[in-house]
Amino acid sequence: MRISDNTNLATDWGDFQDPGITQARANETLAQVATRVGVNLADLQSANPQITDPNKLTPGSEIRIPAPAADVSVAREETPAPVNATSRHVETSLEANAMRSLLSSSYPPNVSAPNSSTSGSGGIAQMPPVAMPLNEGYSEKEKQDLTDGLRKVYRAGEQLGISHNDIVSMLHTLAGNPPLTSKKMTESLRLFFMAKDLSPQDRKLVGDAFKASHGDPTQAVALTKLVANPKFVKASTQTKKEWLDKFEALTKRPELKNLGPEEKSVVIQALASDPPPSEDKISSTLDVLASAKNLSPVDQKLFVGGLNAAGGDPAYAANLKKLVEDPKFKSLKPAEKTAVLSQTKNYADADAVANFDRLLHKDWFRAESLDNKQRTLKTIGRLSTYPTGDRQIIYNTLDKLLGDKSPIKLEWKKYPDKSTFWGEMGDTVLYLNRQKIPKGNDKLPENDETNSLAIETVPHEVNHFVNHDKVASTFHYFESEYRAWYVEFKAEHNRVPTSQEAMDQRISWQLNPKSFYGKYAASALKNPQEAQKFYHFLESMTGMKVDAKNWKTVVKSDPATWPNKGQAAAPVPSGNVDNH
Ligand SMILES: [Zn+2]
């Protein structure tokens, strides 16, 4: 916390247990306030029911700070609520949401579109530029829906910068293959968008391939993968034509006839995602599908769903096959198999699947209850696929948890209700607060609580393990906690913290005598030799001269007044800072 912003704490740190008031800063979210004042986000939310949108606070508005849950059992430790992580993995440059909004921003069916003569470029034609597609056997309603859909696609295609000729070609294919579903609209636009920077001849090839697919959205998804592949982009027009022809021919192979739509989609995506398309790819994918034949119907569905979600990634397919053929998997109870395969689908990523397989070889995992197996699986899945973190720290952390020779055991511990403790490291046991992670086979919800546990607490505690940290009334222990925080910060944000972030989110809190860590720091500060190390640390953080007289003032001061303005990189702690 930055104490100068909190009148209650600024006057007397001894009042840490009392509720106080703070003011929202510009652009601050409630999660960031929680971090700043050192309380749990959920507690802060319930203390402030007037806040309707925790991501949009009015700067200067008053926020009531609840007392932190009083649980100071010595073996445990707490971490403050994390800074909100908002980054998300975006699969292509054209996100599904953007596409939906493009399509919905088109003229609603009941409103007649402006006449094309009234607008210049980018205007919308009264009718889509294709012949009226439907003949006998279709109701007026069906004809109207199709026309409206084509008009939307036309409008969205123009906004996406797809050339007029290509839009017309796409609309002809869509018009000839009703009904026009929203998936069809979205996927065909995505395909033509991905192709729009190719040469006119190459774009015509793509249009022809789309026509040959009869606008089938599954084929459009696969064609998009092929067209977006760098090997395809670089290939000559002749080679492109050969690949597209081959792709079309292979998708009509008799082996695919008997497959269900999901299985067929798996094979087609595999063919498209790693050009050139070849018979080998069909047979290896069929081979992967065959490895699911002994699974229950529910598990088969999850297996195929995962392959589809992985979009033809050959490494994922190979790892999934290896996992279900692993004797350790085969010996699981039916509900446990379903738990594992649910997460291979939720986290359809080659590394995540390899990590699930490593888990199956851990005795502690095999001994866990089903509920806790589910918690472990989704935590590992989230950590394995966290898109915006420091990959090296996350990889090393997973290796410490799952490596063959690693002695660490994970245990989901029941803490008192509303405990602010996330986890702790025993000699070799990593205890995690099981209330922070719901059981079940769904994906881990992506919020501050789950990030705090999976992305921060796990690397934090593993850092204590690799450094053999012990609680003590010394600067060294203070630095150990700072280091573990420094590592969790890097794990989550893929960068080092600034001095201001370190002070706000950790140091002022670690020095607060009422916090778990503060008691040890206060005791260490009574020893002049130890105290010198604290002052030196605060000097390297702020750029100010620090001594016994001013150190508390320095901790409470506004970073903007520091010589380094708080923007310099926070001091690098000694010891192992990447969990190797
Ligand atoms: Zn710690």
What spacing in Å lies between the alpha carbon of 45 and ligand 1's midpoint? 25
What spacing in Å lies between the alpha carbon of 76 and ligand 1's midpoint? 9
Helix, strand, coil fractions of the chain, as percent rounded to 5: 55, 5, 40
In DSSP terms, 569 is beta-bridged to 498
CA Rg value for the chain:
29
pLDDT tens, 176-226? 888 888 899 999 999 999 999 999 999 999 999 999 999 999 999 999 999
Beta strands in 16-152 (DSSP E): 20-23, 62-65
| DSSP-assigned letter for residue 456 | I
Higher pLDDT among residues 205 and 21, named by residue = 205
pLDDT at residue 354 in the model: 98
Tokens found for residue 49: 């029911």
* Per-domain residue ranges of the chain: 1-68, 112-290
Does 17 have pLDDT greater than 60? no
Q: Given the DSSP bridges, would you call strands 429-433 and 409-413 parallel, antiparallel or unpaired?
A: parallel
What spacing in Å lies between the alpha carbon of 479 and ligand 1's midpoint? 10
Banded pLDDT at 350 (limits 50, 70, 90): very high
Instruction: Please give the helix or strand (H or E) that residue 158 lies within, else none.
Output: helix 140-159
Residue in 521, 525, 496, 499 with CA at minimum distance from that of residue 510: 521
What spacing in Å lies between the alpha carbon of 461 and ligand 1's midpoint? 6
Long-range residue pairs from 326-331, CB within 8 A, at least 24 positions apart, any chain: 326/357, 326/360, 328/357, 328/360, 328/361, 328/366, 329/357, 329/360
Pinpoint the alpha helices (H) of 213-260.
217-228, 230-234, 237-251, 254-257
Which sign, positive or negative, has the C-alpha torsion 7, 11, 14, 18?
Answer: negative
What spacing in Å lies between the alpha carbon of 203 and ligand 1's midpoint? 57
What spacing in Å lies between the alpha carbon of 357 and ligand 1's midpoint? 29
Answer for the pair 502, 486: CB distance below 8 angstroms, yes or no: yes
What spacing in Å lies between the alpha carbon of 429 and ligand 1's midpoint? 14
Please name the residues in contact with 79: beta carbons below 8 A apart, sequence gap of 6 or more: 422, 452, 456, 457, 460, 485, 488
What spacing in Å lies between the alpha carbon of 484 and ligand 1's midpoint? 6
DSSP 349-393: -HHHHHHHHHHHT-HHHHHS-HHHHHHHHHHHHHHHH-TTS-HHH
Answer for the pair 466, 430: CB distance below 8 angstroms, yes or no: no
Does 384 have pLDDT greater than 70? yes
C-alpha span between 397 and 337 (Å, rounded)? 25
Residue 483 — φ and ψ, nearest 5°? -60, -45
Answer for the pair 563, 540: CB distance below 8 angstroms, yes or no: no
| DSSP-assigned letter for residue 326 | S
Average pLDDT over residues 426-454: 93
Average pLDDT over residues 445-456: 92
Does 284 have pLDDT greater than 50? yes
C-alpha span between 573 and 193 (Å, rounded)? 48
Answer for the pair 200, 217: CB distance below 8 angstroms, yes or no: no
What spacing in Å lies between the alpha carbon of 97 and ligand 1's midpoint? 39
What spacing in Å lies between the alpha carbon of 39 and ligand 1's midpoint? 16
pLDDT at residue 133 in the model: 54
Residue in 171, 247, 169, 237 with CA at minimum distance from that of residue 198: 237
pLDDT tens, 458-505? 999 999 999 999 999 999 999 999 999 999 999 999 999 999 999 999
What spacing in Å lies between the alpha carbon of 168 and ligand 1's midpoint? 61
pLDDT at residue 545 in the model: 95
What spacing in Å lies between the alpha carbon of 69 and ligand 1's midpoint? 18
Q: What is the mean pLDDT of the chain?
A: 84
What spacing in Å lies between the alpha carbon of 424 and ligand 1's midpoint? 7
Q: For tokens 């006839």, what's the residue?
A: 257
Residue 560: CB atoms within 10 Å: 9
Q: For tokens 């001095």, what's the residue?
A: 499
Please name the residues in contact with 129: beta carbons below 8 A apart, sequence gap of 6 or more: 154, 167, 168, 171
What spacing in Å lies between the alpha carbon of 559 and ligand 1's midpoint? 25
The pTM (predicted TM-score) of the whole model is 0.74
Residue in 44, 48, 46, 26 with CA at minimum distance from that of residue 80: 44
Q: Tell me: domain 1-68, CATH 3.30.2310.20, correct?
A: no
Torsion of CA 144, 150, 156, 160, to 10 degrees: 180
Residue 544 — φ and ψ, nearest 5°? -95, 160
Banded pLDDT at 67 (limits 50, 70, 90): low
Residue in 220, 168, 219 with CA at minimum distance from that of residue 190: 220
Tokens found for residue 435: 């209330």
Residue in 482, 502, 508 with CA at minimum distance from that of residue 564: 502
C-alpha span between 35 and 89 (Å, rounded)? 25
Does 561 have pLDDT greater than 80? yes
What spacing in Å lies between the alpha carbon of 571 and ligand 1's midpoint? 17
Does 413 have pLDDT greater than 80? yes
What spacing in Å lies between the alpha carbon of 477 and ligand 1's midpoint? 9
pLDDT tens, 100-130? 777 775 444 433 334 333 333 444 445 566 6
Tokens found for residue 273: 């995602």
What spacing in Å lies between the alpha carbon of 516 and ligand 1's midpoint? 10
What spacing in Å lies between the alpha carbon of 471 and ligand 1's midpoint? 9
Distances, alpha carbon 365 to alpha carbons 61, 75, 356, 396, in Å: 47, 24, 10, 19
C-alpha span between 293 and 277 (Å, rounded)? 25
Average pLDDT over residues 233-244: 96
Answer for the pair 451, 34: CB distance below 8 angstroms, yes or no: no
Instruction: Please give the helix or strand (H or E) that residue 180 lies within, else none.
Output: none
What spacing in Å lies between the alpha carbon of 423 and ligand 1's midpoint? 8
Pinpoint the alpha helices (H) of 40-181.
41-47, 96-104, 140-159, 164-175
Answer for the pair 36, 504: CB distance below 8 angstroms, yes or no: yes
What spacing in Å lies between the alpha carbon of 511 and ligand 1's midpoint? 14
pLDDT at residue 74 in the model: 32
Does 276 have pLDDT greater than 90? yes
What spacing in Å lies between the alpha carbon of 483 and ligand 1's midpoint? 8
What spacing in Å lies between the alpha carbon of 229 and ligand 1's midpoint? 44
What spacing in Å lies between the alpha carbon of 462 and ligand 1's midpoint? 9
DSSP 491-531: HHHSSPPBHHHHIIIIIHHHT-TTSHHHHHHHHHHTSHHHH
| DSSP-assigned letter for residue 436 | G
What spacing in Å lies between the alpha carbon of 464 and ligand 1's midpoint? 7
Average pLDDT over residues 518-540: 96
Lowest mean pLDDT among 82-96, 123-137, 201-215, 237-251: 82-96
C-alpha span between 160 and 163 (Å, rounded)? 9
What spacing in Å lies between the alpha carbon of 5 and ligand 1's midpoint? 25
Q: How many CA atoms lie within 13 A of 538 on its CB side?
A: 26
Tokens found for residue 200: 């006119």
What spacing in Å lies between the alpha carbon of 481 and ligand 1's midpoint? 5
Residue 130 — φ and ψ, nearest 5°? -135, 155
Q: For tokens 């925790």, what's the residue?
A: 54
| DSSP-assigned letter for residue 424 | E
